């Protein structure tokens, strides 16, 4: 790593029980900041970029060093303030206050555009924090893996349970013809992806979770990726099984695995939009279709087609305005292909990267006309090597009279919102010791605390999915940086698990404290109308009070560090979200803070969904004593 002519060795967070700071409450954020930039974890650590195109951990290397220096001298009753990756002040507070408060990428709404953000970023005044990059709780691809596992599992239960040996219904009531027209589906277990093909794009920090999440749900995954280094990384980290040398080989492998009911993940080096165009040309329809390319960022994330990856990178550097136009154009073609495959029967959903919003914007800005050509037999290009540029959409068929990307549903309203109503969401923890044995002990603690078999030997169905995940993660998930684990827990269970972890530290069953945090994608911590809050029952999709209340509540309850960000997941102007991290150091004081924070944090999700009129959230509030301030 290099800045201002000075070479720096790759970062690695300290391990073991020896402190570099004055307490574990300041050691923890320092180690997690460093861990975010560990080469095993970060996508481009030399540029301080952790994941998501341009999501950074600190604004500059000088700012990184200033933050670390402040954390090392911070007292037990002081709080460090961080403004978009820069330490700007230390306040005298109290022992139960957060040790760090972070705000990233925030802009006044009228100025909340990528153009204005990039102008301010170029002046050195801000940085893009994504979600867990700038809040120092990114744990590598596992962080999104478990959420993707939950999403694919919910999809399988919704669409495939009880449909053994037959085709189900695809999107919008269309007959799901499957990947090979006329071929019978192999018998498979209802409610899994066995015998099903998932097609998607993107193997970056977020998308890289898709292959393993699909195979953990017993399916076949075919993923397009333009960057060969990302394919190599996912194979090396055991998130991906193999890479095909051509689209012909990739499809042959995928079809063979699907017929055999095998769980296999395959990558092919090509643009995702072009892979979908090729499926259309060959009249092949997958069972499930989504996308996790970095479409939230049209300049530094998404890669346009019609050129090599090297040429795209050169264009990004030399002519960013043209690059942006080409990205918009490709996104419109990409979504047009998704709509066509949806019409043909693929169960299609948006995975929160804002590709729908940018495709719509591309047409509105005149960068693309996805209705110009024809997907029907004989229309468009039928030559080998079809691309999305020469296969566009027939208005009367895939789009109707208008090109409407939002005919593709979002993953939260389709599969995740029922979990949000119960206060469920991503609960992640990291062993600050760096010892994988500590995570193995916490895995056992989860299975002991929430067993899938009761004392009489009877199955506990609602816990089976959790226990299956914990067991498979222990066997199949490679750690990146400090050892970590994630699972989804709901209201009540998060606080219970946090206290169990604190007891493990107190009894010396793990060798150092544990940090507990989460993604900003949670039940009550985000406003994102194209993702987490899409299609709210009461129409409150864009109401952004909830993430602010979430951050205030976690600050009041004593989280170790709290963050508020703008633009994560979907891009500048499209989301506001908050995060919290808390340290379990084995002390009675930590136990009190853990009880407060890990109760209040998921309670915000119950409050949010009760207020929006969801009956399940109202039932959860009654059953679990969540005080919704009702008379």
Residues spanned by the domain of 347: 161-409
430 domain-assigned: yes
User: What pLDDT band is residue 385 in, cutting at 50, 70 and 90?
Assistant: low
In a domain, 128, yes or no: no
Please identify, among 354, 374, 409, the residue that sits at the C-terminal boundary of a domain: 409
- Model confidence at 628: pLDDT above 90: no
Strands 347-348 and 288-289: parallel
Q: Is the residue at 388 inside a domain?
A: yes
Give the percent of the chain with pLDDT over 70. Answer: 89
| pLDDT grade for 630, boundaries at 50, 70 and 90 | confident
- Does position 72 have pLDDT exceeding 80, yes or no? yes
- Give the lowest-confidence range in 104-118, 376-390, 463-477, 486-500: 376-390
| 193 within 8 A of 152, measured Cβ to Cβ | yes
Report yes or no on 631 lying in a domain.
no
Instruction: Kindly tell me if the per-residue pLDDT of 373 is higher than 80.
Output: no
Residue 537 predicted with pLDDT over 50: yes
Q: Please state, in angstroms and as integers, the Cα–Cα distance from residue 406 to each residue in 112, 125, 357, 402, 531, following that order.
A: 22, 35, 8, 11, 11
422 and 344 in one domain? no
Q: Which helix (H) or strand (E) holds 326?
A: helix 320-343
pLDDT at 455: 83
Contact, 201 vs 207, CB < 8 A? yes
Per-residue confidence band for 390, with pLDDT thresholds at 50, 70 and 90: low
User: What's the pLDDT score for residue 179?
Assistant: 38
Pair (58, 193) in one structural domain:
no
What's the pLDDT tens digit per position in 543-575? 999 999 999 999 999 999 999 999 998 999 999
571 within a domain of the structure (yes/no): no
Q: Is residue 289 part of a domain?
A: yes
Quick one: pLDDT at residue 173? Answer: 37
Q: Tell which of 409, 436, 459 closes a domain.
A: 409
Residue pair 540/453 in contact (Cβ under 8 Å)? The answer is no
180, 291: one domain: yes
Q: What is the pLDDT of residue 267?
A: 98
Q: How high does pLDDT run on average in the chain? A: 90
Give the model's pLDDT for residue 170. Answer: 41
pLDDT band at 7 (very low <50, low <70, confident <90, very high): low
Task: Kindly state the helix (H) or strand (E) to which residue 504 belongs, with its residue range.
Answer: helix 493-506
Inform me whether the pLDDT recorded for 382 exceeds 80. Answer: no
Write down which residue in 346, 375, 409 finishes a domain: 409
At residue 488, the 3 state secondary structure works out as: strand
Same domain, 424 and 397: no
Q: Find all residues with CB under 8 Å of 224, minimum gap 6, and list them.
A: 200, 201, 202, 267, 268, 269, 270, 271, 272, 274, 275
Lowest mean pLDDT of 278-292, 365-379, 430-444, name the range. 365-379
Domain shared by 595 and 469, yes or no = yes
Positions marked catalytic: 487
Q: pLDDT tens digits, residue range 301-345?
A: 999 999 999 999 999 999 999 999 999 999 999 999 999 999 999
The answer, yes or no, to whether residue 29 has pLDDT greater than 90, is yes
The structure's pTM equals: 0.86
Cβ partners under 8 Å of residue 456, min gap 6: none
Beta bridge partners of 487: 427
Burial class (CB in 10 A: 0-12, 13-18, 19+), 590: buried
Give the model confidence (pLDDT) of 576-615 as tens digits.
999 999 999 999 999 999 999 999 999 999 999 999 999 9
Residues 90 and 17 grouped into a single domain: yes
pLDDT band at 419 (very low <50, low <70, confident <90, very high): very high
- pLDDT bin (cut points 50, 70, 90) of residue 243 is very high
Residue 153 counted as domain residue:
no
What's the rounded mean pLDDT across residues 128-147? 94
Whether 428 and 403 share a structural domain: no
Same domain, 208 and 296: yes
Question: By three-state DSSP, how is residue 500 classified?
Answer: helix
Cβ-proximal residues to 48 (8 Å cutoff; 6+ apart), any chain: 37, 56, 57, 58, 59, 60, 61, 64, 85
- Average pLDDT on 144-157 reads 92
pLDDT value at position 623?
95
DSSP state of 406: G
With respect to residue 572, please indicate whether it lies within any of the assigned structural domains: no
pLDDT band at 48 (very low <50, low <70, confident <90, very high): very high
- Based on the fold, state whether residues 269 and 366 are members of the same structural domain: yes
Question: Domain holding 305: CATH number?
Answer: 3.40.50.10730
10 Å CB burial of residue 615 (0-12, 13-18, 19+) is exposed
> pLDDT by residue (tens digit) across 166-203?
443 443 333 333 333 333 333 334 589 999 999 999 99
Q: Which CATH number fits the domain that encloses residue 476?
A: 3.40.1770.10
Q: What is the pLDDT of residue 379?
A: 39
Residue 52's pLDDT band, with cuts at 50, 70 and 90, is confident
Predicted pLDDT of residue 629: 74
Crossing angle between the packed helical segments 461-476 and 436-449, to the nearest 10 degrees: 170
Number of domains within the chain: 3
The verdict on 338 and 423 lying in the same domain is no
Q: Are residues 241 and 378 in the same domain?
A: yes
Residues 519 and 606 grouped into a single domain: yes
Give the model's pLDDT for residue 190.
54
């Amino acid at each position: 790593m290099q800045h201002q002519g000075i070479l720096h060795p790759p970062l690695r967070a300290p391990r073991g029980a020896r402190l570099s700071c004055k307490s574990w409450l300041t050691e923890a954020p320092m180690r997690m900041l460093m861990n975010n930039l560990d080469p095993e974890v970060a996508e481009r650590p030399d540029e301080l970029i952790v994941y998501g195109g341009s999501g950074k951990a600190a604004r500059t290397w000088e700012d990184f060093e200033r933050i670390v220096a402040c954390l090392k001298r911070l007292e037990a009753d002081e709080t460090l303030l961080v403004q978009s990756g820069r330490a700007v002040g230390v306040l005298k507070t109290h022992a139960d206050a957060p040790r760090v408060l972070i705000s990233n990428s925030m802009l006044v709404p009228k100025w909340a555009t990528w153009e204005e953000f990039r102008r301010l970023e170029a002046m050195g005044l801000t940085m893009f924090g994504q979600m867990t990059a700038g809040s120092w709780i990114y744990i590598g691809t596992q962080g999104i893996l478990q959420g993707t596992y939950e999403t694919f599992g919910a999809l399988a239960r919704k669409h495939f349970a009880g449909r053994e040996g037959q085709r189900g219904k695809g999107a919008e009531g269309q007959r799901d013809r499957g990947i090979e027209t006329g071929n019978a589906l192999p018998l498979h277990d209802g409610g899994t992806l066995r015998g099903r093909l998932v097609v998607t794009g993107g193997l970056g920090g977020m998308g890289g979770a898709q292959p393993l999440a699909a195979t953990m749900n017993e399916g076949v995954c075919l993923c397009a990726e333009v960057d060969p280094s990302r394919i190599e990384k996912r194979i090396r980290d055991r998130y991906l099984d193999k890479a095909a040398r051509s689209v012909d080989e990739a499809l042959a492998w995928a079809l063979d695995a699907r017929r055999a009911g095998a769980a296999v993940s395959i990558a092919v080096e090509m643009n995702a939009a072009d892979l979908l165009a090729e499926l259309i040309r060959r009249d092949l329809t997958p069972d499930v279709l989504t996308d996790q390319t970095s479409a939230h960022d049209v300049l530094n994330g998404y890669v346009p087609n019609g050129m090599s990856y090297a040429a795209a990178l050169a264009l990004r550097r030399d002519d960013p305005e043209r690059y942006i136009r080409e990205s918009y154009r490709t996104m419109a073609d990409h979504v047009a292909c998704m709509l066509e495959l949806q019409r043909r029967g693929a169960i299609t959903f948006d995975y929160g990267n804002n590709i729908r919003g940018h495709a719509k914007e591309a047409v509105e800005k005149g960068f693309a006309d996805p209705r110009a050509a024809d997907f029907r037999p004989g229309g468009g290009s039928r030559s080998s090597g079809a691309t999305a540029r020469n296969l566009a959409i027939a208005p009367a068929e895939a789009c109707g009279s208008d090109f409407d990307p939002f005919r593709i549903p979002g993953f939260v309203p389709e599969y995740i919102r029922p979990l949000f109503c119960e206060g469920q969401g991503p609960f992640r923890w990291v062993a600050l010791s760096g010892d994988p044995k500590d995570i193995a002990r916490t895995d056992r603690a989860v299975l002991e605390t929430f067993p899938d078999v009761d004392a009489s030997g009877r199955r506990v169905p609602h816990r089976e999915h959790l226990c299956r995940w914990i067991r498979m993660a222990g066997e199949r998930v490679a750690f990146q940086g400090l050892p970590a684990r994630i699972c989804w827990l709901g209201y009540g269970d998060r606080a219970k698990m946090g206290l169990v972890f604190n007891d493990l530290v107190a009894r010396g069953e793990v060798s150092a404290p544990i940090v507990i945090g989460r993604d900003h994608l949670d039940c009550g911590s985000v406003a994102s109308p194209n993702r987490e809050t899409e299609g709210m029952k009461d129409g409150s999709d864009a109401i952004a009070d909830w993430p602010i209340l979430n951050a205030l509540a976690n600050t009041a309850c004593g989280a170790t560090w709290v963050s508020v960000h703008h633009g994560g997941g979907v891009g500048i102007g499209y989301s506001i979200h908050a995060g919290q991290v808390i340290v379990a150091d084995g002390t009675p004081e930590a136990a009190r803070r853990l009880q407060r924070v890990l109760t209040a944090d998921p309670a915000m999700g119950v409050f949010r969904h009760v207020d929006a009129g969801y009956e399940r959230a109202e039932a959860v509030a009654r059953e679990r004593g969540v005080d919704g301030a009702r008379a």
